[in-house]
Copies of this chain bind each other. A is one copy, B any other.
Amino acid sequence: MALRRDAEARRAQILAAAAQVFARYGFRGATTRAIAQAAGVAEGTLFRYFPTKRHLLLALFEAFTIRPIQQQLETLETTDPQEWLERFLTERLTAMRAHLPLMQALYQEIRTDEAVRQAFMGQIAQPFLEHVRTVLATALQRRQRPLHPGLVLWAIWGALHGVTIFGMEMDPDLAALPPERIARELTALFLWGLEGQSDEPAGR
């Protein structure tokens, strides 16, 4: 049991080191030597915990994206579209901003990985899509020509990442806004659009 605890601590220690080195040098630029050094273990030890360097990346993606989102999707039981979306975005924006370089490193590499893709589709996109369908159903269906839910999913997903990964890096003005404000505005944008009257329309 102590062994098990040790092993897990070591794993976590290595993963933390990898996060740090990836954030600094990117996935390609991070050498296993540097990660081992940062973790205070021998280079060979890395490979007892993670079969390849890429597995470090996957584990980090799991820890920093899949798991928190999944947890969030399970937790957020609100049915009010506005509140739901706003909360979701706030948390994601906050988390991503806190680890921006790491997130950038992650997103630069993961798109091509089949394992990630499946994890992503099964554990994030699918539930998210459900939510979009059910939680936002009313909103969606009030329209004459209802929007394609997958499209909405990817538009929101893309907007979230466009704002963080690109926007925050390229536009200091934007980076200075607090996540709550960004989340509120994005929610308003997605719920009532550019031409909507306000983010809290009369009648609510």
> Which residues of A are interface residues toward B (Cβ below 8 A)?
26, 28, 81, 104, 108, 111-112, 117, 120-121, 125, 136, 139-140, 142-145, 147-148, 150-163, 165-167, 169-171, 173-174, 177, 181-182, 185-186, 188-199
Contact B111–A147 (Cβ < 8 Å):
no
Which one of A26, A112, A121, A196 has the greatest number of beta carbons of chain B within 10 Å? A196
Q: B152, B185, B195: which contacts A151 (Cβ < 8 A)?
A: B185
Task: Specify which chain B residues have a CB less than 8 angstroms from the CB of A177 in the assembled complex.
Answer: 148, 151
Contact B166–A157 (Cβ < 8 Å):
yes
Which DSSP category, helix, strand, loop or mixed, fits chain A's interface? helix
Closest to A170 in B: B121
Q: B143, B163, B194: which contacts A154 (Cβ < 8 A)?
A: B163
How far is it, in angstroms, between the C-alpha of A189 and the C-alpha of B147 when the chains are bound? 8
Task: Specify which chain B residues have a CB less than 8 angstroms from the CB of A165 in the assembled complex.
Answer: 111, 158
Contact A147–B81 (Cβ < 8 Å):
no
Known: A194-B190, A195-B139. A185 touches B117 (CB 8 A): no
Q: B108, B150, B167, B193: which contacts A190 (Cβ < 8 A)?
A: B193
> In the complex, how many angstroms separate the beta carbon of A107 from the nearest chain B beta carbon?
9
Contact A161–B163 (Cβ < 8 Å):
no
Known: A169-B111, A170-B121, A189-B190. A155 touches B159 (CB 8 A): yes
> In the complex, how many angstroms separate the beta carbon of A94 from the nearest chain B beta carbon?
16
